[in-house]
Amino acid sequence: MFVTSAYAQTAPAATDPHAAPAGEVHTETGAAHGGEHGGGVFPPFDSTHFSSQLLWLVITFGLFYLLMKKVIVPRVGGILEHRHDRIAQDLDEAARLKAEADAAVETYEKELASARSKANSIAETAREAAKTKAAADRTAIEAELAAKLSAAEARIGEIKTAAFAQVGQIAEETASAVVDQLIGAKATGDDIKAAVAAAKTEA
């Protein structure tokens, strides 16, 4: 109120011919309205302030533009570029590490495969060796067993013939003892031998 009424006093001095009727309107519509429309125009269209508005806009916006152009835009642009570079660099680093890891995996796989094939061949030769050794052992044992068997058979044959040879003698002795008991006379050796031999052939 104070500011605008003070302004209302200065305004008519500036635009004297138009302000006079406006001043009359003020007295009719009251002090409150009079204070508002000091220049008699809608404030945004009040051309008395245009020069000052323009000057200060040029000063402030010009300063702002210079500050943006010289300081802020290069700075923010630098920050963003630095970040992009950093991200790109990190991505490159990650790609490089991934390639390294892939290569390591590949060599590992290769080594694993070669080790596996080597192990297979070792196992194979071991198995072969074991098989041949087992076969040789078996043939040796079989041969030994066959030899033992044939020796045992020969011994059995020997014992058998020996036993058969003794059978005649025992029969003769038994026959002479039986004849002696039955008829009380000694039978001669030759008779008994002949009789045993006859019985043997009969059997």
Partner 1 sequence: MSNDPIHQFQISKIVPIEVGGIDFSFTNASLFMVATVACAAGFLYFATSQRGLIPGRAQSVAEMSYEFIAGMLREGAGSHGMKFFPFVFSLFMFVLTANLLGMFPYFYTITSQIIVTFALAVLVIGTVVVYGFYKHGTHFLQIFVPSGVPGILLPLVSTIEVISFLSRPISLSVRLFANMLAGHITLKVFAGFVASLGTMGALGIGGAVLPLIMTVALTGLEFLVAFLQAYVFAVLTCMYLNDAVHPGGH
Applying CB under 8 A, the residues found at the interface with partner 1 are 1, 3-4, 7, 32-33, 35-38, 42-46, 48-61, 63-65, 67-69, 71-73, 75-80, 82-83, 86
DSSP H helices, 15-72, are 16-29, 31-36, 50-67
Q: For the CB of residue 88, give the shortest distance to partner 1 in the complex, in Å.
A: 13
Is 39:12 a contact under the CB 8 Å cutoff?
no
Rounded to whole angstroms, the Cα distance separating 106 from 98 reads 12
Q: Quote the least distance from Cβ 62 to partner 1, whole Å.
A: 10
Structure tokens at 137: 């052992």
- The angle at the Cα of 166, spanning 201 to 203, to the nearest 5 degrees, equals 20
The 3-class SS string of 87-156 reads: HHHHHHHHHHHHHHHHHHHHHHHHHHHHHHHHHHHHHHHHHHHHHHHHHHHHHHHHHHHHHHHHHHHHHH
Cα distance between the two ends of the chain: 169
Shortest distance in whole angstroms from residue 90 CB to partner 1 = 11
Q: Are 48 and 39 in contact (CB under 8 A)?
A: yes
Smallest distance from the beta carbon of 29 to partner 1, in angstroms?
12
Shortest Cβ distance from residue 85 to partner 1 (Å)? 10
User: Which CB atom, from 27 or from 181, has the smaller least distance to partner 1?
Assistant: 27
User: Looking at beta carbons only, is 49 or 155 nearer to partner 1?
Assistant: 49
Distance from C-alpha of 49 to C-alpha of 151, rounded to nearest angstrom: 145
Minimum CB distance to partner 1 smaller for 53 or for 114 = 53
Of 37 and 196, nearer to partner 1 (C-beta) is 37
CB 97 → partner 1: shortest distance, Å?
20
For partner 1, the closer of residues 84 and 148 by Cβ is 84
Of the pair 86, 127, the CB lying nearest partner 1 is at: 86
